[in-house]
Amino acid sequence: MTQPRPAGQHTVRRHNSALVLGAIADSPGISRAGVAARTGLTKATVSSLVDRAIVAGLVVDGEPAHREGPGRRGTALTLSPAGPHGLGVEIGVDYIATCLVDLTGRVSRQRIRPADNRAQPANRVLVKVARAIRSVFSELPVVVGGIGVAVPGLVENSTGLLRTAPNLGWRDVDIPAELRDRAALADIPVLAGNEANFAALGEMWSGEHPELRDFIHVSAEIGIGAGIVMDGTLFEGVRGFGGEIGHLSVDAKGPQCSCGARGCLEAVAGQDAILAQSGVSDVPALVARLESGDRKALTAVRPVARYLGTALSNVVNLLDVPTIVLGGTYAALGPWLQEPLQEELTLRVVSAAWSPITILQSTLGTEAAIRGAATSAVRAIIADPDPFITATVPG
Amino acid sequence: MTQPRPAGQHTVRRHNSALVLGAIADSPGISRAGVAARTGLTKATVSSLVDRAIVAGLVVDGEPAHREGPGRRGTALTLSPAGPHGLGVEIGVDYIATCLVDLTGRVSRQRIRPADNRAQPANRVLVKVARAIRSVFSELPVVVGGIGVAVPGLVENSTGLLRTAPNLGWRDVDIPAELRDRAALADIPVLAGNEANFAALGEMWSGEHPELRDFIHVSAEIGIGAGIVMDGTLFEGVRGFGGEIGHLSVDAKGPQCSCGARGCLEAVAGQDAILAQSGVSDVPALVARLESGDRKALTAVRPVARYLGTALSNVVNLLDVPTIVLGGTYAALGPWLQEPLQEELTLRVVSAAWSPITILQSTLGTEAAIRGAATSAVRAIIADPDPFITATVPG
């Protein structure tokens, strides 16, 4: 966005449209004069851009918010819930999920289909994913302005390739290209990303913890991943492969992991390991047993807290992040993990004595990744609304 | 530097002086016209600022470098080796070191004094450090423009306090304030920082590996620390406590560490552990035995490589850094560590198959920290030369 390029008439308007939509997104109910003050644009420019955005269906002009001085009343501008939506798609190990989010951030449709993707080749699963996307298109009369696809694997930032998804057994899949073909997406932008990264963003953007700026969000399902956010920005590593907390070594002599190494966190404290140890079939059943004080369940969760505490201590000793958000299965197990985790962190983190570490439980739980993927697509629309405006209001 | 503030005449000149000195530092031998082209300042402004910097002794105007078009010959501007120097001070566990670096980056004096600081309270050691600083002042007729102090502990970035140095047994020491008093430093800026962070910067600035932009530098002496550099900038964590690789857990059932936890890298692969296992008294003796093929020495180094490989795999899985620089004792042991380390990384790093990890040996070895500390002070002078100029050339 801020790269130098020839600033022709159109480029300037494109940039200014983004400024205007950003101001309205940050301050719903703002007036045209307020937008001008925030962006530094003239009132005439703001009015012209807002009018175009209204005609294009991105902005709505609501009731007067309040009098602004003796002159004309200011009206309340908000992003339009009927404007283009962001579609989130999540390819889980045992489900496919879709989620539509409008420009205001509201979820207008969310659906999870169980699917055993673990033993399936990529092309068979992507046929089902494409079908799920097309069913969203056919069922709802909204424009989809962008798609975010969350995958349980390593996505290379320079190529967009899914390099590996150990729990799916996939390698080198160009998910955006595959879906563009199979779901006839034409020119809708598609961005694939690691589910743990989307989950961290989803949690931050949910607004439930407004102070979240520097944190690590650990999501456990069948795999374990982490999204690292520093100063409000996702840190994904030089090539996009960072945050692989599931493959931190926590027990040198532990069992073999799907990645080939021994004693990874995922192998000893992932959902499969927890359920196997506690002898139940799913997480809700485990939570029920824990709530009833079942000894076997409590015994199964204890080493999970210790292993997770070791891995998180490593993270804090390296990155000095003040906040940890437990997501996915760990959010559900939070009440039983919180205290032993805090003990392990206090023991192992060198700076713990001066720098308390806050442990939060995700408010979105297993929905964080799909919400983050959909909201990423919405944010991309707001960051560059011009294509949607010029499609409706040429010139 | 780029924070908004009222841009009075003096502020503008201060900012422009920094631009001019930065251009000369980046391109030694540059002409005034070259500085104008690089900075966007007018030739008249550049000439006036350069003249002031020459009078103040920061810049020298050398022989004509080359003809520039048909007009006046350009002359070659360089930073002056006789200008203000940066002084690096390192408080090691068993030594105190000082190092003077001039504006061109040349080391003009370096000295290491053995000192058993391990059992000494901070105030006794700081008396010796202050004496070492004063001896630099008295022996050499140079202006010291800034001091960087490298310490083996956690320095809080908001307060500058050394919060803990486990191998010294120190807590909550305000090193800049203590030294300012004891060495009568008046208004010379003093910056304390973690030795591992300074070592990473020293290695990057040494110019020996010009491609170093994203890397982790692991320094082992009695303690083990790491400096993390991303896109050419030191990453020290939110509060300055990042990079504590020495306290990553590599053996859950391992021996107790000075930090209180079990199985930290430092406890099983620090210099003390290596020497104890190999039955020699110092690192040069160990290297001599390794070179002669001594079996006990080779056996002692093998688990060090495995433990270090586990810790570094954790780092790469979390941060996706493409390059590891082995520093301090690990640089000396590099030839025996490199291959088993690479094997461990290939096994444990999830992205290793697409993202080869380069392992380099530090060229500065145990001198990296002191060089980084001194060069940090030099860079601070170049980033804000105005106080040195106005002291000589008022108005």
- B-chain CB neighbours of A350 within 8 Å are 154, 164, 166, 241, 244, 247, 259
Would you give the end-to-end CA distance of chain A in angstroms? Answer: 22
Residue B351 near residue A279, CB atoms below 8 Å: no
Instruction: Determine, for residues A318 and B228 on separate chains, whether the beta-carbon distance falls below 8 Å.
Output: yes
Nearest CA to A167 among A86, A58, A270? A270
DSSP tag of A333: T
Nearest CA to A80 among A13, A25, A19? A25
The whole-angstrom distance between residue A321's C-alpha and the CA centroid of its chain comes to 19
> How far away is chain A from the Cα of B286, in angstroms, using its nearest Cα?
27
Q: Which of B241, B260, B314 sits opposite A320 (nearest CB)?
A: B241
Least confidently predicted of A243-247, A344-348, A389-393, B323-327 = A389-393
CB proximity A354 to B under 8 Å: yes
- Give the whole-angstrom CA distance, residue A69 versus residue A34: 13
* Residue B141 pLDDT class (50, 70, 90 cuts): confident
Instruction: Determine, for residues A245 and B318 on separate chains, whether the beta-carbon distance falls below 8 Å.
Output: yes
CB proximity B13 to A under 8 Å: no
Residue ranges, comma separated, of all CATH 3.30.420.40 domains in chain A are 85-198+369-383, 209-362
- Give the whole-angstrom CA distance, residue B212 versus residue B230: 9
Nearest CA to B218 among B245, B242, B253? B245
- B-chain CB neighbours of A349 within 8 Å are 247
Q: What angle do CA A336, A338, A340 make, to 5 degrees?
A: 85
**Three-state DSSP state, B218:** strand
Nearest CA to B316 among B245, B262, B238, B237? B245
pLDDT tens by residue, A101-131: 999 999 988 999 999 998 789 999 999 999 9
Whole-model pTM: value is: 0.90
Average pLDDT over residues A133-155: 93
Residue A176 near residue A190, CB atoms below 8 Å: yes
Q: In Å, what is the CA distance from A120 to each residue of A68, A127, A172, B18, B329?
A: 61, 11, 15, 60, 49
Residue B89 near residue B149, CB atoms below 8 Å: yes
> How far away is chain A from the Cα of B392, in angstroms, using its nearest Cα?
40
pLDDT at residue A63, as a whole number: 65
pLDDT tens by residue, A264-323: 999 999 999 999 999 999 999 999 999 999 999 999 999 999 999 999 999 999 999 999
ipTM: 0.89
Greater confidence (B260 vs B201) lies with: B201
Domain B85-198+369-383 has CATH 3.30.420.40: yes
pLDDT tens by residue, B61-74: 986 545 455 545 55
The DSSP H or E segment spanning B284 is helix B283-291
The overall average pLDDT reported for chain A is 91
CB proximity A277 to B under 8 Å: no
- B-chain CB neighbours of A324 within 8 Å are none
Average pLDDT over residues A68-92: 83
CB proximity B260 to A under 8 Å: yes
- Give the whole-angstrom CA distance, residue A359 versus residue A353: 16
- Compute chain A's Rg from CA coordinates: 23
Instruction: Determine, for residues A319 and B318 on separate chains, whether the beta-carbon distance falls below 8 Å.
Output: yes
Residue ranges, comma separated, of all CATH 1.10.10.10 domains in chain B are 9-80
Q: Which residue type does A378 have? A: V
* Residue B316 pLDDT class (50, 70, 90 cuts): very high
CB proximity A251 to B under 8 Å: yes
Class level of CATH domain A209-362: alpha beta
- Give the whole-angstrom CA distance, residue B197 versus residue B199: 5
CB proximity B313 to A under 8 Å: yes
> How far away is chain A from the Cα of B220, in angstroms, using its nearest Cα?
16
Q: In Å, what is the CA distance from A8 to each residue of A5, A14, A42, A115?
A: 9, 10, 18, 49
Residue appearing with tokens 């442990």: A359
Average pLDDT over residues B127-137: 94
Q: What residues of chain B, 65 to 104, have a C-beta less than 8 Å from chain A?
A: none
> Which residues lie below 8 Å from residue B263, measured CB to CB, with a gap of 6+?
B249, B250, B251, B252, B253, B254, B255, B257
Instruction: Determine, for residues B247 and A353 on separate chains, whether the beta-carbon distance falls below 8 Å.
Output: no
Nearest CA to A145 among A395, A394, A391, A363? A391
Would you give the end-to-end CA distance of chain B in angstroms? Answer: 22
CB proximity A348 to B under 8 Å: yes
- A-chain CB neighbours of B248 within 8 Å are 314, 317-318
Q: A9-80: which CATH number, 1.10.3720.10, 3.40.50.720, 1.10.10.2840, 1.10.10.10?
A: 1.10.10.10
CB proximity B128 to A under 8 Å: no
How would you classify the pairing of strands A190-194 and A215-220? unpaired
pLDDT at residue A54, as a whole number: 95
The two structure tokens encoding residue A20: 């205007």
Instruction: Determine, for residues B248 and A214 on separate chains, whether the beta-carbon distance falls below 8 Å.
Output: no
Residue A5 pLDDT exceeds 50: no
CB proximity B247 to A under 8 Å: yes
Residue B23 near residue B30, CB atoms below 8 Å: yes
Chain B residue with CA closest to A319: the answer is B242
How would you classify the pairing of strands B170-173 and B107-114? unpaired
Q: Which residue type does A268 have? A: V
